[in-house]
Amino acid sequence: MIHPNAVLHESVVLGIGVEIGPFSVIDENVVIGDFCKIESHVRIHSHTTLGKHNHIYHSAAIGTDPQHITPDMVPTYLTIGDHNIIREYVTLSRGSLKGGPYTTIGDHNLIMSYAHIGHDCLVGNHTIISSGVLVAGHVEIEDYVVIGGAAVIQQFSKIGRNAMVGGSSGVNQDVVPFSLVSGTPIRYGGLNVVGLRRAGLSSEKLKEIKTIHSILLRKGLSLETATKTIEEMPPSEYVMNTLNFLNKSTRPLCRRAK
């Protein structure tokens, strides 16, 4: 159902069962997938694509221009997957030419009110980004990450899967998968045991991840030595995930313990 007071450009592509509330404005070259619900006063800017079953609450701004001083002379894009909840006053920027030019949000994410995700970010699946979180450009957030309220993520940072960032933290380093970090600057607070148990990991798998963390974060080894030691462990999903993260990390790792 499209409210008569909503304004849609003639080029907008709508799936089946889409609801759009009053005073929402949707620009050209936007695709909205099946069964999405767009509440009132939402602005969806051009070159934005939404998958299926997304719920965008009122006054969110989706697909805004990248917030940088150099204008992009060709289109850039925002792509959002399926089953996402985007709450009130959230702002999501499109990508930039420097970033590929995409900002990408995966599936089953909860982005709470007043959060901002900047240009060229890559957000995985099943994340929770709490109210007031500010994510700068070129940040990568892997699957099952939880970020507490009012945290600030510096540009080009990476947060590994199943990590948790405490509220009001200032993330200025890469966060190793399965970590619990908090503070400004952030410090390592141990394994995200609660989050991993909620994800259904067995005691045996938790023990394996704890061993990886001990090598990487607790033994005082150089990063090169720690990486080689992890490479010598029996292959597993968690070993490979950690090694892949280390290979793509471009910033210092958060290895400082509380």
* DSSP-derived secondary structure for 165-217: E-TT-EE-SBB-TTEEEETTTTEEEEE-HHHHHHTT--HHHHHHHHHHHIIII
Rg for the chain (alpha carbons), in Å? 20
Grouping H, G, I as helix, E, B as strand and the rest as coil, residue 251 is coil
174 is catalytic: no
Of 47, 116, 119, 213, the active-site residue reads 119
Q: Residue 71 and residue 68: Cα distance in Å, rounded?
A: 7
120 is catalytic: yes
Q: Residue 156 and residue 163: Cα distance in Å, rounded?
A: 17
> CB–CB of 106/88 below 8 Å?
no
Of 63, 81, 106, 120, the active-site residue reads 120
Q: Residue 218 and residue 4: Cα distance in Å, rounded?
A: 60
119 is catalytic: yes
Report the alpha-carbon angle 3-87-166, nearest 5.
175
Residue numbers annotated as active site:
119-120, 137
